[in-house]
Amino acid sequence: MTRVSTSGNYSSVLTNLMSAQQRQVESGDQLSSGKVGTDLKAYSRNAQVLTAMQTLNTRLSAFNEQNAFTANRLEMQDLALNRAADAAVKTRDALANALASDRAEALMTELGGQFANAVGALNARHAGKYLFAGGQVDTPPVSARQLSDLTASPTAVADSFHNDDYLDKARVDETTTLEVGQLADDLGTPMFNAFRDLQAFQEGVDGPFTGKLTAAQRTFLQGQIAIWETVQSDLVTAAARNGTVQGQLDAVKKGLTARQSTVEGMIGDVSNVDMAKAATALTQAQQAVQASSQVFLSLKNTSLLNFFQ
């Protein structure tokens, strides 16, 4: 025979009420967060798969963050290389203009300005570090400040550069490493040699450039035009090389973005809650809480003693 007691009824009703409240809390949390749960226990047999996908997603995010930094560096290098190439073009134009007008009063002033632009380009920095210094990122790779510094000694051009031979590389994904660095002495030595020749001529017996060009000055400047065209071409090639690396990095970034989108979709399939089902479960849980509460209230006013009076 089934035994009936007030305490037994209370226990049963309270158990149902607490269970309904727990379901209500869980459904409410799912609706507010959009997730199945807040810890791996909530994902049962999918926990191991979810952990692996989260690890992969974290690694892809790290690559994307690093690649954004590398892309910014390459953009700064592009600006610097084009600035140096522009200085070469304007130097060549200044020589051509002097020949065309047969006068050179302002020639050396223009050349000094373009030399300063070239030095500024080679001493460009990104995130506080010198771009073209190799591994000596805290030391300006070029110390020369004016044209006369290039003729101070027979080795003045070489002595103007302070970078080492380290070419910086960036690991952009699990299998790809790109060489992103270029060196100031490789980029600047031909240009500085050409600047030195101009300054040495200015200081020599056939200088200075002060007014109407002499025959010797015209012959010298005519020979310099071709040299500066080569200097400019070499710097454009260096900028193009930098652009090639930018293109390779962009391709890697697109691939990583696509992979991360796929992984995030897979994570969502496991961790994201079905909002319609969660809403239905919440409604059912709320109704169960209300029903259990009503039974509990009714039970408070009921005693088996009433049946024995």
231 and 104 together in one domain: yes
Q: What is the CATH number of the domain that holds 85?
A: 1.20.1330.10
Q: Does a structural domain hold residue 150?
A: yes
SS3 132: coil
Task: Count how many domains the chain has.
Answer: 2
- pLDDT of 28: 54
The Cα 17–Cα 189 span in angstroms is 84
243 and 101 together in one domain: yes
The Cα 191–Cα 118 span in angstroms is 9
- pLDDT of 94: 98
- pLDDT of 274: 45
Q: Which helix (H) or strand (E) holds 238?
A: helix 215-271
Task: Using 70 as the pLDDT threshold, list the residues of the chain that sit under it.
Answer: 1-47, 268-309
Q: pLDDT tens digits for 73-107?
A: 999 999 999 999 999 999 999 999 999 999 999 99
261 and 284 together in one domain: no
Residue carrying the six token digits 């084009």 = 82
Enter the pTM of the model.
0.76
**Beta partners for residue 125, in sequence order:** 130
Q: Is the dihedral of CA 231, 233, 239, 245 positive or negative?
A: negative
Q: pLDDT tens digits for 5-19?
A: 555 555 555 565 565
- pLDDT of 291: 55
235 and 294 together in one domain: no
183 and 297 together in one domain: no
Per the structure, the complete domain to which residue 99 belongs is given by 49-267
